[in-house]
Amino acid sequence: MSSNAIALEGVSAAYGQSRVVHSISLAVAPGDAATILGRNGVGKTTLLRTIVGLHPAASGRIVLDGDDVTEARAFTRARRGVGYVPQGRGVFQHLTVEENLELGLAALRGRPGGGGTVPGHVFEIFPVLDRLRGRKAGLLSGGEAQQLSIGRALVTRPRLLILDEPTEGIQPSVVQQIADALAVIRRELKVAVLLVEQYLAFAWSVGERFYVMRGGRIVMQGETAAQAPESVAHLLNI
Amino acid sequence: MTELGLVASQLFNGISLGSILLLAALGLALSFGLMNVINMAHGELLMMGGYLAYLAYRMPVGPWRLPLALLLAAAGAALFGALLELTVVRRLYGRPLDTLLATWGVSLLMQQGARSLFGPVGVEVTAPDWLAGAIPLRSIGLPGVELPLVRLFIIAVAGVVLAGLALVLTRSRWGRLVRAVQEDRDMAEALGINSRRVDLVIFMIGTGVAGLAGAALALIAPVTPTVGQSYIVYAFLVVIVGGLGSLTGTAAAALAVGLLSAWLQVFTSVSLADVLLLVVVMAFIQVRPRGIVTRLSRALEEA
Ligand SMILES: Nc1ncnc2c1ncn2[C@@H]1O[C@H](COP(=O)(O)OP(=O)(O)O)[C@@H](O)[C@H]1O
Ligand SMILES: [Mg+2]
């Protein structure tokens, strides 16, 4: 049980009276990666925001490293190891790349070895961030901003990294860099990865487990090694 | 007084009024810009600062009276602001209308409280001797024009507060947290920033500056239970004209409203000048609905 970095037990979420996420259960162990697939509007982003603590769970439990955090505020979850790369990247446009990265240090408060400076491995994984340190984030290209967003999440020293459609609107060469970076992050940093993706090839190259959502529910799940991406395509295309 | 002298003295009056409006409006602009909260009791925190200055003046502390009065007014108002944030504002988060009504209720309670404690008539604070004089401008060809030291002092206080806030917000680590929360609260939280604590501190700074404004104002006008009401309307105008959450905009707007108000009063009565001022502000927000300075983040949201 507690060997999982994250476990969801029957998590639901709603906007007012309308429930958009229904009783989702899943788990990811440290160093593992799981992908959530599904069309637009099926509740993927809402589910991730609920895990991060930016949206209340209507029912169910969210267990982080064995601790129930269902009621915890988002900033405390970040301090307990939830790193978030939101859809649209969420970089602070009028802060520089370096300032954006340094904001991630806030999550280290109260942790051993916390505070200080942006760790060097962030720049090793994303060398472009080193070159662009002084640039305003609002001036970055989509791929650069995405790398900044992931790099910034790494500054928080996550045990669980949550990414919402990181390949959306990004050129193929950068998509490959991001896939490579995620492999390093899992292997060397032992971070669990929970990815939301619509791009099947990318999803298959990153995660060993997949879940397909439809109408707020998980309607199919399996191992990417055992099934071809085509086997879920009918659930994703119109 | 020559015509030029009249222009010069109204210019000075405008700057003086502008500096008081700036102190009164800064807190409103900060908390609206960050939290989308309109604090209707803001004027009463100014009033509270005035009474705290009055109390400080009755203490036998000799030459330290003035700094002590300013400090007590700012600290007292900031503490009361913290109480207000924790007990009212925070609990009504995301319900702007309820916040408006609740803080309006608090403002009425505070006015009644002041009336019960100090009576309906104003109390006076006399400026210390070293602020009693005035600088005559006769030597530079403006006979009859004098710049009262106490007003110069208030202008200086406003300038120091503005510069200090600008420095903290743009240069310090903590200021960076404030700007991050202002641009994207959710993302800031997801990075481990306790945005509610940032709100609390900003709210305290805003109410503390209002208290300081009240103490400064007490040096030139009697403190009454309703003194907050007479300044808060102008302060709201300043915030609207300045653009929400921008220090530069607030400062420019305070100066503009102060100058315009002083200039209009040359030609008409005070109350007609107020009406004209309102007309000008309404015309202005037709042209620039988002104020003098619109922030990048807001521009992006619109895009
Ligand atoms: N802020 C909101 N208020 C009300 N409904 C929302 C809000 N955000 C999303 N929804 C609705 O919730 C459903 C799930 O949205 P979302 O989680 O963004 O889906 P996905 O990320 O899978 O595209 C959609 O029907 C969407 O219209
Ligand atoms: Mg989405």
**Domain ranges within chain A, ordered by starting residue:** 6-236
In chain B, % helix, strand, coil (3-state, to 5) comes to 80, 5, 20
CA B35 distance to own-chain centroid: 17
Is residue A32 within 8 A of residue A186, CB to CB? The reply is yes
Q: Which residues in chain A touch residue B192, judged by CB atoms under 8 angstroms apart?
A: 75, 78-79, 104, 106-109, 156
Query: Exposed, middle or buried, B171 (CB in 10 Å: 0-12/13-18/19+)?
Result: exposed
Ligand 1 atom 5 nearest Cα = A15
CB contact under 8 A, A95 and B188: no
Task: State the first-to-last Cα distance of chain B, in angstroms, to the nearest integer.
Answer: 54
Residue B292 burial class via C-beta count within 10 angstroms: exposed 0-12, middle 13-18, buried 19 and up: middle
Residue type, B211: G
Pairing relationship of beta strands B134-136 and A6-15 according to DSSP bridges: unpaired
Tokens 């640039």 belong to A135
What is d(CA B24, CA B197) in angstroms, rounded to the nearest whole number?
Answer: 23
Model confidence at B143, in pLDDT bands (50, 70, 90)?
confident
The pLDDT assigned to A182 comes to 95
Residue located nearest, by CA, to atom 24 of ligand 1: A41
DSSP assignment of B225-262 equals: TTHHHHHHHHHHHHHHHH-TT-HHHHHHHHHHHHHHHH
- Bridge partners, A19 (sequence order): A14
Q: What is the CATH number of domain A6-236?
A: 3.40.50.300
State the smallest CA–CA distance between residue A231 and chain B in angstroms. 35
DSSP-assigned letters across all residues of chain A: -TT-SEEEEEEEEEETTEEEEEEEEEEE-TT-EEEEE--TTSSHHHHHHHHHTSS--SEEEEEETTEE-TT--HHHHHHTTEEEE-TT----TTSBHHHHHHHGGGGGTTSTT-SSS--HHHHHH-HHHHHTTTSBGGGS-HHHHHHHHHHHHHHT--SEEEEESTTTT--HHHHHHHHHHHHHHHHHH--EEEEEES-HHHHHHH-SEEEEEETTEEEEEEETTTS-THHHHHHH--
Q: Residue B10 corresponds to which tokens in the numbers above?
A: 């109204």
Model confidence pLDDT, tens digit, residues A47-104: 999 999 999 999 999 999 999 999 999 999 999 999 999 999 999 998 999 999 999 9
Mutation target among B93, B191, B294 for the A interface, most CBs of A within 10 A:
B191
Alpha carbon distance B5, B11 (integer Å): 10
Amino acid, single-letter form, for residue B100:
L
pLDDT value at residue B92:
93
Q: Using CB atoms, which residue from A54, A79, A86 is nearest to B192? A: A79
> Measured between CB atoms, does B184 come within 8 Å of chain A?
yes
Asked if residue B298 has pLDDT above 60, the reply is no
Distance (Å) from CA A39 to ligand 2 centroid: 9
Q: Which helix (H) or strand (E) holds B146?
A: strand B146-148
Return d(Cα A84, Cα A76) in angstroms, integer. Answer: 13
Q: Do B190 and A138 touch (CB under 8 A)?
A: no
Give pLDDT, residue A114.
65
With a cut of 70, say whether residue B302 has pLDDT above it: no
Q: Where are chain B's structural domains? A: 16-130+154-231
> In terms of C-beta density within 10 A (0-12 exposed, 13-18 middle, 19 or more buried), how is residue B129 classed?
exposed
Note the pLDDT tens digit of each residue in B219-252: 999 999 999 998 998 999 999 888 776 888 999 9
Select the residue of A75, A94, A106 nearest B296 (Cβ to Cβ): A94
Q: How confident is the model at residue B273 (pLDDT cuts 50, 70, 90)?
A: confident
Residues 6 or more apart whose Cβ sits within 8 Å of residue A56: A13, A50
Is the predicted pLDDT of residue B1 greater than 70, yes or no?
no
More confident residue, B10 or A149: A149
**Which chain A positions have a beta carbon within 8 Å of B193's beta carbon?**
75, 103, 106
The answer to whether residue B176 neighbours chain A at the CB level (below 8 Å) is: yes
Could you tell me if B90 lies within 8 Å of chain A, comparing CB atoms? no
Pocket-forming residues, ligand 1, beta carbon under 6 Å: A 15, 20, 38, 40-46
| pLDDT top residue among B290 and A211 | A211
Q: Is the Cβ of B192 closer than 8 Å to some Cβ of chain A?
A: yes
**Residue in A19, A20, A35 to alter for ligand 1 test, most ligand atoms within 8 A of Cβ:** A20
pLDDT of residue A235: 83
Q: Per the CB < 8 Å rule, is B189 touching A78?
A: yes
Q: Do A90 and B190 touch (CB under 8 A)?
A: yes
Q: What is the pLDDT of residue A1?
A: 46
Q: What is the pLDDT of residue B296?
A: 41
Q: How confident is the prediction along chain A (238 residues), in pLDDT tens digits per residue? A: 458 999 999 999 999 999 999 999 999 999 999 999 999 999 999 999 999 999 999 999 999 999 999 999 999 999 999 999 999 999 999 899 999 999 999 999 877 766 688 999 999 999 999 999 999 999 999 999 999 999 999 999 999 999 999 999 899 889 999 999 999 999 999 999 999 998 898 999 898 999 999 999 999 999 998 988 888 888 887 5
- Residue B300's pLDDT band, with cuts at 50, 70 and 90, is very low
DSSP tag of B87: I
B194 interaction partners in chain A (CB closer than 8 Å): 73, 75
Closest residue in chain B to residue A98, using alpha carbons only: B176
CB contact under 8 A, A53 and B176: no
